[in-house]
Structure formats: C-alpha cells, structure tokens
Structure 1
C-alpha cells in the first residue's frame, strides 16, 4: 500500500493498494496504520465505520460537517463511483478547489478527505458500496449539505441523477453555506 498526495486538495491522500491475484481471486490490504501514520495522520483517530449501498445514478452529497468538521477515509468496496471533494477550509491554499476521482472495487483505493472539505459521489454501476471511516462520532445536528448542481462548483456529474435523499434535494447553495459558516 502506498500513499499519494492529492495536489488539488491540500492534506488529501489516496491510499493505493497492491493486489495479489491467483486462481482463487485476489487479495489486497485496504488499511495499514503504518502507511497512514507515514503521512502524518493518526490511524487511531478513526472511531466509526459505515457502508452505503447505492444503485446506478444515485447521488449522495455534497456533505459537510459544521463545527470541527469530520475527516474521513472513503473507499468503493463494490462497484464504481464518481467521487468529489471540495475544499471549504478558509485558510487552506486550495480553498474552494475541487477534485474528482473514480473509485472502484478493482483498485480498492481509499481516499482520505480532511475535515472541512465537502464530499459527494455518484454511483456508476448497478450497485456501488461505499465504505466510510470517520474520525468522530456522527452528530446529525452538524450535517450541512451543498447543492450538487451549484453552478459555482460546476461539477461534471457523469450520469443523470436517478435518486437522492430529500436532504440532498433541498440543499443550500455554496454561497449560502459559506455565508452561514462566516456568520
């Protein structure tokens, strides 16, 4: 497993696996505390693991946590997703920059998203399972959602949206979220 910095988002990393394949199938390590530690992250900081299952075209996000934010490790454990990160940390050199990734079950690459960044994804396959590891317990009162189709972000979602949660449909614009964060 190796860690690679994401140039578009300061502090974000891709943790790429090495897959071993034979007649039985394949094997890869999806988490290695030493590799996580080697880039200055505390592997023991992650306190909750979750999984979502989505069907093709489902869009989840863009999600953010208020307060101290939430750092997370995200991996597509089954299927394929188009993944988006938006840096909303005011003092970051990549403030308001975006990064796009295709995460797949074939590579099992894990994306580290620093606290203060918004995150969303769209399922590209019939079924897509996404595994999340977060660094503090989830508190729904801190949930913030930014409109997936905000023209200021101009995210090139690859498929028409087939479904999303009510929360995501009623999301605020980026400008509204930033105004609320400042106020």
Structure 2
C-alpha cells in the first residue's frame, strides 16, 4: 500500500494494489503497519459506519468542532467524488479544499484528519461509502457548510438529485470560518 500526500496538510491518500484474476479482485483496504508509518494510530479507530447513496446525492459538507474526529474513507461499491475542506484555524491550508474520486476499482482510502469538513457526491447508480472513525459521535460538535457555498465553489460533477434537509439548511463557509477563528 502506497501513501500519497495531498495538497491539504495532513490529508493522505492510501493507494493499495488490487489483484485481479478470473475470479474477480482482491485488495487490502487497511494495513496497520502502513498507517503507523504514515503517522496514523491504527488502534485509535473505534467505529465503522457505512452509507449507501444513489446517483447525484450529495452528503455534506459535515465536520466536528471541539475534539472532532479523524476518519478513513473508502468506497466498497460504486464511485463518489469525495471533498475535504480544511477547517483548522492555523493550518497552512485553512479554507482550501481538495476533491478525490474514490471507487471500487482503485480502492483508494482517504485519511481525513480531525478538523476537516467532509462530503461526497455519488457518481454511479449506487455507492457504498465506508468510514472508519476514531471517536464516538458527539452531536453537540456537529457543524455543516452548504454544499453550494459560493466561497468554496465546489464543482460537483453530476446533477445534484437529493440533499438532506439538514444539508440544505447548512450555513456558509464565511460564517463558520469567522466562528472558528474568533477563539
């Protein structure tokens, strides 16, 4: 498994080597030794979650304040455009975002450190996104930024078909950034 840096400070892309033959494909989706070498504590993860979404669905952009959570994100079936926004005041990449295609062909795993906003859009008929999270969910820490925020200007590649009521009501990046930097 190769560990690839990204343009966002602390965000890593873990690229396994899928092995294909006439039976199908086998790949490693997590390797504790590789994670540790990359500075990720493999024993820290306490929860695995999965979402299934349909073509065009956007989930996010979600994050946590306070202690927050780090996560490993991968797609078990289908494909998504996965977006990470650096919401860590003091970070050299604060306010910047990067997008990654995660799919069931390359099996890349995205490491999203604490303090990031995260979301995705489903690019295939269905997509199963798997999350390995290093903290129990604390709803009092939830924050969200609208997926069509003009300051972030994320170019979602497909027609947006469905967004939750919570995400439609999400605030702006400018408001969250001001809140985060006021401390």
Q: What TM-score do the two structures reach when normalised by structure 2? A: 0.97
Query: What's the offset of the Cα at 1:140?
Result: 1.7
Query: What's the offset of the Cα at 1:113?
Result: 0.6
Which residue of the partner structure matches residue 121 of structure 1?
120
Unaligned ranges ≥5, structure 1: none
Q: Structure 1 stretches (4+) deviating beyond 6 angstroms?
A: none
Query: What's the offset of the Cα at 1:180?
Result: 2.7
Aligned partner of residue 137 in structure 1, secondary structure: coil
Which residue of the partner structure matches residue 171 of structure 1?
170
The two structures, once aligned, show a CA RMSD in angstroms of 0.9
Unaligned ranges ≥5, structure 2: none
Aligned residue pairs, count: 182
Which residue of the partner structure matches residue 5 of structure 1?
5
Q: 1:59-98 maps to which residues of 2 (within 5 A)?
A: 59-98=58-97
Query: What's the offset of the Cα at 1:179?
Result: 2.5
Would you say 1:53 and 2:52 are equivalent positions? yes
Counterpart Cα distance in 2 of 1:144 and 1:95: 16
Counterpart Cα distance in 2 of 1:70 and 1:91: 18
Query: What's the offset of the Cα at 1:77?
Result: 1.0
Counterpart Cα distance in 2 of 1:145 and 1:95: 16
Counterpart Cα distance in 2 of 1:21 and 1:39: 26
Which residue of the partner structure matches residue 161 of structure 1?
160
